[in-house]
Structure formats: C-alpha cells, structure tokens
Structure 1
C-alpha cells in the first residue's frame, strides 16, 4: 500500500505541467496537440486520484476530517482543471473556474503541507 507521498506528488506535478502545456498549445492554436495533451492529462487525473485515495485510506486515522477535506478539495482541483480546458476548447468564458481553481489549489496545497505525512517546510 502507498505510505509515502512521492508517487502522489510526482503525478500531480506532472499533471500541473501538462495543464500549463495544454494552455499554451491552445493559445498557440495547435488544436491537435492540445487534444493529445488533454487526453494524457485525463490519464494522469486517474493516477492522481488513485494515489491520493491510497494515501487517504492508509492515513485517514491520523486526522480523518482534514484528510477527507483534502481528498474532496483535490477532486475539485482536478474538476476545475478539466472545466477550464473544456471551456477553452469551446471558446467560452473561464474566469469563474480560474478563481475556483486557484482557491481550491491553495487550500489543498496548504492542507497537504499541514497534515502529518506532508512536507513541513515551516517547522
């Protein structure tokens, strides 16, 4: 079972990088590349959720409420990333989704650093 955060952190860092690449590809008008990166990103969403769920089930006894909030927040971050890319592809406004993405991402990052198995740079 997954007891360390290395795999989970690696998958979400790659997902964030691919999200940014997809944004640049869309802005450059390279729709085929955008679609390919978007499909790879969807695979990474699954890996992020699976590794996060394994960490959640292994460590929820340490602080069940906060780990549950972090799990829900992580799923919302993934949802906002997907909504931003979908609405960009359709040419619709993404402002609200960007705000929600930033709020959820900061919240999840804070909880990830604060919780017992997280990285503690300020302690």
Structure 2
C-alpha cells in the first residue's frame, strides 16, 4: 500500500504542474481535464493513506500529525488550482504547499516506522 500512496502523491504533483501549465497557456479544456483527474487522484491518496493510517495506529501521535499534514497538502494543491482558475493570487498557497510537502515527506520517511530510516 505504501507504493500506491507514494505513486499517487507523485502523480498528483505532476498533475498539478500540468494543470498550472495549461492554465498559463490559456487552454481551459485541458486544464479542466487535468484538474478533474487530479481530483480523482485525491481519492487514491485518501484510500491508500487511510489504509496506512489504520496499520500505524500503534505508533502514537506522529501518525495523526502525518494524516493532518497530508490533508493540508491536498487542500493546498486544490486551492492553488481553484485560485489560479479564478485569477486570484496563489503565492501564499504555493508556500503552504512547499512547507506541507516537506513536512509530510519528513514525517513519512523519517519519523514513521515504514520509512527509509530504521
């Protein structure tokens, strides 16, 4: 399940980049399609993350913090796409995305037991 979770996160970030690229070019149809696919990818992220959360419940509050951080990442990605579509400023949301992604990666790979470090 970990591989599905990581793959879906990478796919979501790629889809966000594609959505932004299409919005910058003015291609509304392509940006709408990639945004909808990104929203479907959120379901994979939530499913795989929920399964990982259920298997990590014995590891204390770090798991809950990771869950909230992951939701923060999804919210920041969605707000970037929606604000950009409406023509509003997205700078603060890009900052939040950067902080939340780095925090989620740190918690997932370093703090939680199934990460890279033992």
Q: TM-score, normalised by structure 2?
A: 0.94
1:48-63 pair list within 5 angstroms? 48-61=45-58, 63=59
**Structure 1, unaligned stretches of length 5 or more?**
none
Counterpart contact for 1:88–1:94, Cα < 8 Å: yes
**Which structure has the highest helix share of the two?**
2
Q: Name the structure 2 match of 1:64.
A: 60
Q: Name the structure 2 match of 1:74.
A: 70
Q: Name the structure 2 match of 1:19.
A: 16
Greater relative CO, 1 or 2 (CA 8 Å, sep 6+): 1
1:49-108 C-alpha deviation (Å, 9 max, x unpaired): 1100110011221x2211110010000100000000000000000111111111111100
2:32 is the alignment partner of 1:45: no
Q: Aligned partners of 2:45 and 2:13: how far apart in 1?
A: 11
Q: Aligned partners of 2:34 and 2:87: how far apart in 1?
A: 18
Q: Superposition RMSD on alpha carbons, in Å? A: 1.1
Q: Aligned partners of 2:86 and 2:109: how far apart in 1?
A: 35
Q: Name the structure 1 match of 2:33.
A: 36
Runs of 4 or more above 6 Å deviation: none
Q: What's the secondary structure of 1:118's corresponding residue? A: coil
Q: What's the secondary structure of 1:49's corresponding residue? A: helix
